[in-house]
Structure 1
Amino acid sequence: MGSDADELDERHPARVMARENRVFSGMVVRAQDHVRQARELPDDELDPTLLDLLKDDLAFLSKVSLHYRRKEELLVPVLADHGETSLPRRVQEDDDRVRTCLWMASSLLDGAEGRPSGSNLESAAEQLAGACDAIDLVAEREDDGLIPLALEVLGDDEWALVARRSEEPAYVAGDGAPALWTSPIERAEAAVRRAIDAGRLPGASGA
C-alpha cells in the first residue's frame, strides 16, 4: 500500500481494505502449508484431520466474498462515475476466479467427507491453491492499483458515503467493524453542533 494510504485514519475504508488484504495474505500462507501436506499424502492414505484443516482454511478464505462484495457494490460504481473502469474490471475478473476456485474446493471437500484419502484431498487442495494464488493477485492489484487510484479520484464526501453504506458483517479484519470513518467536513460540522449544544456558540436561526 502506498505511503499516502499508510497515513490515513485507520478507520478509512481504504485502510480497512488494505488491512483485510494483509489478514487474507496471512491466511493464504496457512492454507498453502495444508495444500503442501495434501500433495505429499499417499493416494490411499486417509487423513480426516487434514480434511478438517482444509475445511477451516476454506471457511476463512471464503470471507473474501464479503470484502469483494463491498468493493464491487460500493467502490467500483463510484470509480465508474469518474470514468475509471479498466482496472476495476480486471480486479473483478480476478474476484470471479477466486469465487470459482473456492466453490470447486468446497464441492470436492464435501465429496471427500466419506473418504478423506490423499487423492481426494489433493484434488480439493489444488482448487484451494488456485484460490490462494488468485487472492494474492487481487490483494496486489488492490494495494498497488485500485486503492491508490480510488484515493486519487474520490473526494472525502464519496469516501464517507462508502463508509456509511458498508455493512458491519462485511468487515473481516479483526473483531468486527471499526468505528465508522467520517470525512473532515462531517467532523467539523459535528464539532460545531456540539459547541452550539454546549452553549459555546449561538445557534443558527431556525436550526
Structure 2
Amino acid sequence: MSELINNREVDVPEQTRRQAMLKEIIKELHAGKSVEEVKARFEEAVGDVTVAEISAMEHSLMTEEGIPVSEVQRLCSVHTAIFKGSIEQIHRSSKPEEQPGHPVHTFKLENREIERLVNFRLDLHATKFQKNDSEELIFKLLEDLSLLLDLDKHYSRKENLLFPYLEKYGIYGPTKVMWGVDDNIRRMIKEAKAALNNYSGNAAEIGVQLEEIIKEVNEMIFKEENILLPMSLDKLTEDEWVKIARESDEIGFCLTAPEQEWIPERAAEPEGAVLGNEEGAAPQEGFIRFETGLLSLHQLETVLNHLPVDLTFIDENDVVRYFSHGKERIFARTKAVIGRTVQNCHPPQSVHVVEKLLEDFKAGLKDAEDFWIAIKDKFIYIRYFAVRDETGRYMGTLEFTQNIAPIRALEGQKRILSE
C-alpha cells in the first residue's frame, strides 16, 4: 500500500511543531550554543527537513522574530552544516532542469567548474604557498583569484534573474540572506587579491583568507543546489525558466557556458510570439504627443536606447518600471527587475542608503543626489533625480548612470569633424 501513502504530507499541527522546533534551534545557535549540541537535538527531534521548511524558517525569523537579515546571514553557514545531512531530496519523474541550456543545468555546470578551481587549483597553490612564498606562487594565486571573480556573473544571474521571480511568490528571506553571503564572498576574494598584490611576508594570514574563501564558496554551492534551486523548481513555471534562459546572456556565464539553447519539449511558439502578457510583451504601435513634438513608440524607444547613459525609472511606490537598453550598459539589468521593488534590487548592506535617498525625495528634502565610483578603467557618475509633476507631487525617481572617464580625459578644443 506504499503507493497510497504521500510521505510528504504533514498535518498542520505537526508542521507547526517542526517549524517552531527549527526556529528554536536557530535561536539557540544565536544565543551561543555549539553546533554539536544543537545538531544532536535537531537529528533526534526533527529528522528530515524540506527545502520549503528551511525557507519558511528563515522568513519567519526575520519577519516574526525580528532577527535582522545580517544575523540570519551570520547563522546561515552554521545551520547549513546542521541541515546538510537531512534535507529531503525531491525526485521528479520529468526533469527539464537536467537538459543542457536550462538555467538550473547551467548553474550546476558552473558550480562544477567553480569546485574544480577552488578545491584543486586554489587549494593546491594555497598549500604550496605556506611552504614557499615565492613570486611564482603569488602570481598563480592571483591568477586563481582573478578566475574565481568570474563567479560574479553566476551570483549576478541569481540576484537579477532568479531572485525577482522568487519574490513574486512571496519568498524574500532566503534571497536576502544569500545575496548578503554572495557579497561577502566577492569582498573576501578582492581582499585576498589586494593582500597578495601588497605581500609583506604575511603568508599565514593570507592562508587563513584563502581557506575561508574555499569554505564559503563550497558552502554556497551546497546552499544553491540543495535549497535555492530545488525551491525555485517548485515555484517557477516553465515560461519563467524560459525567460531566465533567454536573459542570461545579458549578464554572462562563469568559467563555462551552456552547451546549447534550452528548448522546452512543447509546441513551438509562433514566430514573434511573446510569453504571456507580462513585461517584455511588445506594445501596440502608435504615437506619443509631447509638448514639443510627436514620436512613434519605436522612435522613442530607439532614441532612449541611443543615449550614452543608462536610465532607470522607479515609480512613487518604489517599483522599477523602466530601464533603457543601450549597447554598453554599465550595470547589468534584466527584464526580470520590472515590477520589482528597488529595495530588493540591492544587496542588504546598501538598502539603508536607498531607503534614505527615497525618503528624502518623497519628503521634498532633496531633488537630486550624485555618486561617483572608479571601476577599473571606468569612472562611473551616478545621478538620481526626484521626478515631480507640475504641482510638485512626487512621481518617482530617475537614475542616470554614465561612464565619464572619456569626458574627464578631454583637453584643449575640438572644432573640426573627425576623419
Normalised to the residue count of structure 2, the TM-score between the two structures is 0.40
Instruction: Give RMSD over aligned pairs.
Output: 2.5
- Aligned equivalent of 1:35, options 106, 110, 126: 126
Task: Give the alignment of 1:6-155 within 5 angstroms.
Answer: 8-29=98-119, 30-41=121-132, 47-112=134-199, 119-155=201-237
In 2, Cα distance between equivalents of 1:82 and 1:10: 26
Alignment-derived partner of residue 203 in structure 1: none
Structure number with greater CO (CA < 8 Å, separation at least 6) is 1
Percent of residue pairs bearing the same amino acid type: 26
Structure 2 counterpart of 1:25, one-letter code: E
- 1:133, 1:14 → 2: CA distance? 22
Partners of 2:203 and 2:260 lie apart in 1 by: 41
Indicate conservation of the 8 Å contact 2:192/2:206, yes or no. Answer: yes
**Large movers: runs of 4+ above 4 Å:** 1-7
Q: How many residues align?
A: 181
**Alpha-carbon contact 1:51-1:121 (below 8 Å) kept:** no
Q: Is the 8 A contact 1:105 1:128 kept in 2?
A: yes
Structure with greater proportional helix content: 1
Aligned to 1:159: 241
Q: Is the 8 A contact 1:97 1:131 kept in 2?
A: no
Offset of residue 143 of structure 1: 0.5
Query: Once the 2 structures are TM-superposed, how far is the Cα of residue 75 of structure 1 from its aligned partner?
Result: 0.3
Match of 2:262 among 162, 181, 201: 181
Kindly indicate which of the two structures has a greater share of residues assigned to strand.
2
Could you say if the C-alpha distance between residues 53 and 12 of structure 1 is closer, same or farther in structure 2, counting changes exceeding 3 Å?
same
Q: Greater Rg, structure 1 or structure 2? A: 2
Amino acid at match of 1:144: N
For 1:104 and 1:73, how far apart are their aligned partners in 2? 24
Unaligned runs of 5+ in 2: 1-88, 274-419
What is the identity, as a one-letter code, of the residue corresponding to 2:125?
Answer: H
**1:79, 1:154 within 8 Å by CA — same for their partners in 2?**
yes
Contact between 1:58 and 1:128, CA under 8 Å: does it hold in 2?
A: no
Structure 1 spans left out of the alignment, 5+ residues: 194-207
The secondary structure found in structure 2 opposite 1:189 is coil
Q: How does the TM-score come out when normalised to structure 1?
A: 0.77
